[in-house]
Amino acid sequence: QVQLVESGGGLVQAGGSLRLSCAASGRTFSTHTGGWFRQAPGKEREFVAAIWWVGGMTYYTDSVKGRFTVSRDNAKNTVFLQMNSLKPEDTAVYYCAAMVRNGAPELDNNYDYWGQGTQVTVSS
């Protein structure tokens, strides 16, 4: 089992920045990819970004490219999502997830473990 705990959400004005953290514990050596998803009210959960634990390959959805950066600290079993130039449309609950196998990172069904989510609200 892998446990994931997100932190770092909050309220920020448009154009501001937030850094989300996802601390993993348990059988962390068994995971291949760490991902971030978000779900806005009334919308489906969508992929945001992902990173390989080994090698550091990164993936982003088009709407956040150039604004968000996903990174990891293997020693601390933590994945980060640095969010800059935030927009009101970035408002959502952000979830981190862990994938055991090497699968398509943008598909939420490929992920085996999920955190509880952290709220990000961007005011205009």
pLDDT tens for the chain, residues 1 to 124? 899 999 999 999 999 999 999 999 987 777 899 999 999 999 999 999 999 988 899 999 999 999 999 999 999 999 999 999 999 999 999 999 999 989 999 999 999 999 999 999 999 9
Helix, strand or coil, per DSSP, at residue 22 = strand
Phi and psi at residue 67, to the nearest 5°: -115, -35
- Closest C-alpha to 39, from 124, 80, 97, 85: 97
At which residue do the structure tokens 């990000």 appear? 120
Question: Measured in Å, how far apart are the chain's first and last C-alpha atoms?
Answer: 40
Do 6 and 118 form a contact (C-beta atoms < 8 A)? yes
